[in-house]
Amino acid sequence: MSQPVSSPSVLPLALQERRIEVPGLELAALTANLEPAQQGPTPHKPILLLHGWMDNAASFLPLMPYLAKHPMVALEHAGHGHSQHRPPGRWYHLMDYVADALAAVDALGWDEFYLIGHSLGGAVSTLVTAAIPERVKSLVVIEGLGPLAGEGKDICQRLQRSWKQLRDIDPERLRRYETVDEAVQARVRKNHINEAPARALVERGLQRDGEHWIWRTDPRLNITTPYRFDEDQIQHLMRGIECSCLSLLSDPPTPLLPLDDFRQRLAALPQGRMAQLPGGHHLHMNYPAELAALILEHFNGGSDPS
């Protein structure tokens, strides 16, 4: 079923729900302009969009109409939105998200594509680009650049804490809301998102449970990550990204990634540049037009995006 999306001064956009099978899972996605891209060459490369932790594909609803000349797939990570959860007893590890995304672009049959990732999706996007540099033609990372780093001396403690949390997880211990509006206001307060995009995120992310509303997200998403790359490894990964990369950060910056680490990672990229805009951690939802202008210019190699 198509869902019309309208926005001033942008192309009208019809979204379709799609299920994409990857090994062991079925992932959900919101797609636009996808079928024409499968029928033959198109002047506009397709875009894969990967959302942040505890978000869903609706994270990109404000941005997608501004990119409407391109075929687009906003993929939902396992355990998020309408995607399946991982089997019992499994962690949600960064490299598993990467494997899912790689399998998804294979299932879509994309030889070349653009990649946009926000937060967790940005970390996944950088690793996808390092894994298949010949296929990712341009990369945009919103709020972040590569995964969060860990220190080797912490690895035993991290693994022990993660295993204990996985063993003791209570899938029935979920936050319950009396109304959708209550959940929307909670999201607005927590993430400083404008109410309209927050509502889109929340409505896609909730499900009915008797007289209450609960999140569709897997409770295991809150478990400590059992292993992280160290900063040296991450910078080596940055050096393996061959395409041009645009990193978009909030102004003032959010504390997700220390600025010193960010600058070193940016310098490690063969073709990296950054820009800062207001809007907080979800700046792509609060200021989509401004971000889209920078993204289209980046995709066009610095030429006029119109």
Express each pLDDT in 260-302 by its tens digit.
889 999 999 999 999 999 999 999 999 999 999 999 999 998 6
Q: Give the separation between CA 195 and CA 123, rounded to whole angstroms.
A: 26
From 59, 119, 244, 250, the catalytic residue? 119
User: What tokens were used for 191?
Assistant: 């993430």
What's the rounded Cα separation, in Å, for the pair 242 and 271?
7
Residues in the chain: 306
Which has more confidence, 303 or 44? 44
**pLDDT value, residue 11:** 58
Percentage of the chain with pLDDT > 90?
76
107-111, 175-179, 293-297: least confidently modelled range:
175-179
Q: pLDDT-derived band of residue 115, with 50, 70 and 90 as boundaries?
A: very high
- Amino acid 5: pLDDT: 38
38-52, 83-97, 139-153: the lowest-pLDDT one: 38-52
Contacts with 290 (C-beta within 8 Å, 6 or more apart), sequence order:
277
Residue 10 has pLDDT above 70, yes or no: no
At 43 the pLDDT is: 72
On the 0-12 / 13-18 / 19+ scale of CB atoms within 10 A, 61 is buried
pLDDT bracket for residue 215 (50, 70, 90): very high
Query: In the structure encoding, which two tokens stand for residue 253, read together?
Result: 């910056």
Q: What's the pLDDT at 272?
A: 96
pLDDT tens-place string over residues 14-43: 899 999 999 999 999 999 988 654 445 567
Domain 3-164+226-299 class? alpha beta
Confidence check: pLDDT of 2 > 80: no
Percent of the chain clearing pLDDT 70 (strictly above): 92
Q: Does residue 6 have a pLDDT over 80?
A: no
Angstrom distance (rounded) from CA 118 to CA 60:
9
**DSSP per-residue string spanning 35-104:** HHHHHS--SS--EEEE--TT--GGGGTTTGGGGTTS-EEEEPPTTSTTSPPPPTT----HHHHHHHHHHH
pLDDT digits (tens, 9 = 90+) for 240-262: 999 999 999 998 888 788 888 89
CA of residue 120 relative to chain centroid, distance: 6
Both tokens of residue 252?
Answer: 């003032």
Is residue 283 exposed (0-12), middle (13-18) or buried (19+ Cβ within 10 Å)? buried
Assessment of whether the complete model's pTM goes beyond 0.75 = yes
Mean pLDDT along residues 165-179: 86
CB 27 within 8 A of CB 76: yes
pLDDT at 306 over 50: no
Q: pLDDT at position 152, please? A: 84
Across all residues in the chain, what is the average pLDDT?
90
Q: Which structure tokens are listed for 166?
A: 């996985």
The structure tokens listed for 60 are 């990109």
Q: Please indicate whether residue 119 is annotated as part of the active site.
A: yes
CB 206 within 8 A of CB 216: yes
Tokens representing 270 are 């063969």
**Alpha-carbon gap, residue 130 to 124, rounded angstroms:** 10
